[in-house]
Amino acid sequence: MKLLAISDTYIPAAFMRNGFAPLGEVGIEVEVREWEHPTLIELQEANLAIEQGGPEAVTLPEALFQGLDAFDFLCVQFCPVPARMIEAATNLKAVGVLRGGTENVDVALATSRGIVVLNTPGRNARAVAECTLGLMLSEVRNIARSHALLKQGVWSRDYPNKAAIPELCEKTVGLVGYGSVAQLVAGYLVALGSRVIAFDPFFQGDAAPAELVDLETLLRESDVVSLHARLTEESRHLIGADQLRQMKPTAVLVNTARSGLVDESALVAALQQRQIMGAALDVFDTEPLPPDHPLVALDNVTIAPHIAGSTIDAFRNSPKMMAGHLRRMVEGRQPLPIVNGVEPEAFTGREVPSP
């Protein structure tokens, strides 16, 4: 059996080789090819184009299509897996995506061909959760804007929330989406003394330490609203003008998930009109954020260049996590993070090297 791993600037070839090396124990030979970009910004631009336009949105180098019929498994992070790639990989059994979203894969075609598509839920959950907490504190405590002013030689205490700068202790924080990232955020917030509520119609099980509520209740009661939902056609612009009007005038909106969850123009208008107190954003409809974008001119927003999930630990661990999923699949074990409902073929009976 053979696996093709396609590296990128964030998860380089060495991380791929090291992370997937244990698969040799179950008879999987690993080859790594590189999807190269001169800078991280260019990779981010390509990734945003794929998120918005699907796996056909960018053109791949011909070298990535060579000899695909030799591989049983294909693993990527940001590299797209378009129809041409799937059609050329005639022996493909599974596609593994080294993050939560799979919009870079033609999932419909893979499904029609009986190819398993797996993601890596939680692979950068801690990175995003920690950054989320940092952005919350930065916005409500004016950390970023005071830093920017001091770098300009200005000592100021004149901020949009100067009349009532809050602490997170005893404040209500609402989490929209309650997956692995939000659950970590909830734990951090409880340690700070916050009340945590969450909206997630798909969540099952014990939500502690959060209390599950409907979206209207969450918006009405929260001092901070933090977004952690998946971006789907149903969740696109989940937070629009109507939802922003339901928030407290002293509330802050935080988004480290996907920009499409928010109607960006409606948010800009709400911030300009002081309809809500502020926002902290790591994701935008256009990336890199243009210097003349209205968000840049606002004094009640903290902005970061899509860095929430970008830690060395998350990138190094992602191939290791996927290697574990693939090993379980080959050995016929569960659980597996299959996103397209395709049942894995039986690998029993194959010759597997002894450990």
Q: Active-site residue numbers?
A: 258, 287, 306
State the pairing for strand pair 29-34/73-76. unpaired
How far apart (Å, rounded) are the C-alpha atoms in residues 184 and 178? 9
CA nearest 118: which of 341, 292, 352?
A: 341
Give 162-200 as a DSSP string.
TT----STT-EEEEES-SHHHHHHHHHHHHHT-EEEEE-
Task: Give the containing element (helix H, strand E) for 303.
Answer: strand 301-303
CB environment 329-346: b (16+ within 10 A), e (fewer)? bbeeeeeebbbbebebee
Q: Which two tokens stand for residue 170?
A: 């005893």
CA nearest 277: which of 303, 296, 298, 250?
A: 250
Largest pairwise CA distance in the chain: 72
Q: Which two tokens stand for residue 142?
A: 């004016």
The answer to whether 165 and 140 have CB atoms below 8 angstroms apart is yes
- Backbone phi, psi, residue 255, to 5°: -135, 110
State the pairing for strand pair 172-176/301-303. unpaired
CA nearest 231: which of 79, 98, 52?
A: 52
What residues contact residue 343 under an 8 Å CB cut-off, 6+ apart? 116
The answer to whether 239 and 259 have CB atoms below 8 angstroms apart is no
Q: Which two tokens stand for residue 261?
A: 């969850």
Residues composing the chain: 355
